Amino acid sequence: MNRLWARLTLAFVAVSLIGVATVAWLANAAANDQFRRYLTRQEMANQSALIETLETFYAQNGSWDGVAAVLDSSATEPPASRPGFGMGPGAGRRGMGRTGATFTLADANHVVVYGANPGAALTPAEQAGATPIRVNDVVVGYLALMSPGRGMLDQAQQAFLDELRGNIVVAALIAGGLALALGPAISRALAMPLAELTRSAQAFAARNWAHRVRPNGPREIAELAGAFNDMAESLQREEMLRRNMVADIAHELRTPVAIIQGNLRAMLDGVYPLERSEIATIHDETLLLNRLIDDLRELALMEAGQITLNMQTVDAAARVRAAAERFMPLAETRGITLEIASDPSAMLVQADPDRLAQILRNLLSNALRYTPAGGRVTLAVARTNTMIEISVRDTGPGMTAQEAARVFDRFYRGDPSRTRESGGSGLGLAIARALTQAMGGHIGLESAPGQGSRFWVALPATQQVDHERFSPATR
């Protein structure tokens, strides 16, 4: 009974049976009421002659005194022959027509002069359905016909109502049977996509990363299947990145460790002399190893949102000029022209000045690394709506769309054969992206093979200049 389809079946059947019973009861009540109203309308049509008789009676007598004899004689059967109308209190004071409908006569003030409850006033419902009696265009009374009550129908009329009730009961039984038959089928059809989704989740938990769900069934379940597939795609991609990262870290750490181990073994075996130059080589490898470990730790902290930022108003243009001056000697050594597209005025952004300088260092070192001698690296700063955009354009080999999509991944190198000397550790751009996002900005790339690359960083602009905070010391 804990199965979803079983619970859906019970709920479907219960709701269907309650609905069928309610409809049958309402249909029976409505049919009974409408049939009795029909009899009343028929009786009203049959009483047109009675209306004329009453008008003549009032015109001749000037009042309703003695009208009981006229109304009693209008009945097709003597009052004593009907239940409740025999001799006794109230006998002869209530008329009954051919269809079993009872009628009541009231004066012009709606006070009953013949019928049930003489001397009482007609109810608003009785007044609404009463037929006025006019003499010389003046209303002198009202004739109200009431629907026949229980026990007032003749045999044929009662037989018609009984047959109608029987048909309603049969229809209700058929509808209930259909609910019992269709309930399990509909419930299984609704639960089947969820069962498939459960199997897919179990397969995915068993590390079957390629398993996906067919998005079928109702729209909500199909959307759930689509969301599951998106999640599975993301987890599969993250798992692939994690595996690649572990392999890349192992590769990056293995190289300096192997160099250190090899040099130390050579020294111990007497192959290399124990000299300061050899020890310096080992020391350089330990520095490289330490820098790689620091980059990994910093990147992990940034992606976990645990890095502390010193956000303040910073002149992006001044930071760009400072970065260009710092890298100018390296660019000249490699025969590369490093320039700023223009000498921009103050471009104020909300950023951590040290982290912004780190982003510019990573972008510039990457651009100089891949720009050949005789090439050009250009920096620019511009305002775009509410953001300040810093761009670094190079004249290097450029990248394909597949390479550009992965360039910000950890340890990614467009050419797998590149070493750390030519391709870096592969963490600089990943760190730049993490820092930019932590400061509320965006980073991107525009590149094409043979046309160089343009990296850009967009940071929130400061709307008003804070003269106290923005001073030469903060630049």
Give the chain's domains with CATH numbers.
219-303 (1.10.287.130), 312-474 (3.30.565.10)
| pLDDT, position 371 | 92
**Is residue 366 within 8 Å of 326, Cβ to Cβ?**
no
| pLDDT, position 20 | 77
Residues of the chain scoring pLDDT < 70: 1-8, 36-37, 39-48, 73-102, 146-154, 157, 187-191, 217, 245, 248, 251-252, 255, 303-305, 342-345, 411-426, 463-475
In the structure, how many helices (H) and strands (E) does the chain have?
12, 12
Q: How many residues does the chain have?
A: 475
What is the reported pTM?
A: 0.48
| pLDDT, position 79 | 37
Cα→Cα distances 242→294, 304, 317, Å: 19, 15, 37
| pLDDT, position 91 | 33
**Is residue 362 within 8 Å of 323, Cβ to Cβ?**
no
| C-alpha–C-alpha distance, residues 370 and 391, integer Å | 16
| C-alpha–C-alpha distance, residues 20 and 9, integer Å | 16
Cα→Cα distances 31→25, 130, 156, 158, Å: 10, 23, 16, 12
Please list, in sequence order, all residues whose beta carbon lies within 8 angstroms of the beta carbon of residue 280, skipping any fewer than 6 positions away. none
| pLDDT, position 22 | 82
The tens digit of pLDDT for each residue in 255-265 reads 678 878 888 88
**Is residue 406 within 8 Å of 387, Cβ to Cβ?**
no
Residue 324 is encoded by which pair of tokens? Answer: 């260009």
**Is residue 38 within 8 Å of 84, Cβ to Cβ?**
no
Residue 365 is encoded by which pair of tokens? Answer: 């070192």
